[in-house]
């Protein structure tokens, strides 16, 4: 197994090589919050508000980092993604999506 990251965003440029095959699964909150408490998770959260929301939702104590992520074969990423439907809306009350991305 490769590295395991915690992210608040995901873009194709975060892949080490092309072509790459990735599998994206949607998780429920309970499963996601349990997984991210693992000792081997690498925190790559970049946004203050997302860190605040994640810590509230999952009862964790993560901090913002500036780590650059490049997913390679065998790596996984767990993504906490707030959905904003209206500019300036209070994200704390908004819908949150939880994903697992596996790079094969």
Is residue 83 within 8 Å of 94, Cβ to Cβ? Answer: yes
Residues 61-77: tens digit of each pLDDT:
999 998 999 999 999 99
How far is it, in rounded angstroms, from Cα 45 to Cα 67?
8
Is residue 27 within 8 Å of 101, Cβ to Cβ? Answer: no
Binning pLDDT at 50, 70 and 90, where does residue 82 land? confident
Domain boundaries, the chain: 4-93
Q: What is the mean pLDDT of residues 49-65?
A: 92
How far is it, in rounded angstroms, from Cα 35 to Cα 97?
15
Binning pLDDT at 50, 70 and 90, where does residue 101 land? very high
Could you confirm whether domain 4-93 is CATH 3.40.50.11170?
A: yes
Q: Is 34 left (phi over 0), alpha (psi -120 to 50) or beta?
A: alpha
């Amino acid at each position: 197994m490769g590295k395991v990251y915690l992210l608040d965003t995901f873009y194709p440029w975060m892949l080490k090589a092309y072509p790459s095959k990735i599998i994206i699964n949607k998780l429920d909150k309970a499963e996601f919050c349990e997984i991210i408490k693992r000792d081997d998770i690498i925190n790559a959260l970049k946004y203050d508000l997302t860190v605040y929301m994640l810590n509230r939702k999952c009862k964790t104590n993560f901090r913002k980092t500036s780590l650059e992520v490049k997913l390679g074969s065998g790596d996984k990423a767990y993504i906490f993604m707030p959905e904003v439907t209206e500019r300036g809306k209070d994200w704390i009350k908004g819908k949150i999506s939880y994903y697992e991305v596996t790079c094969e």
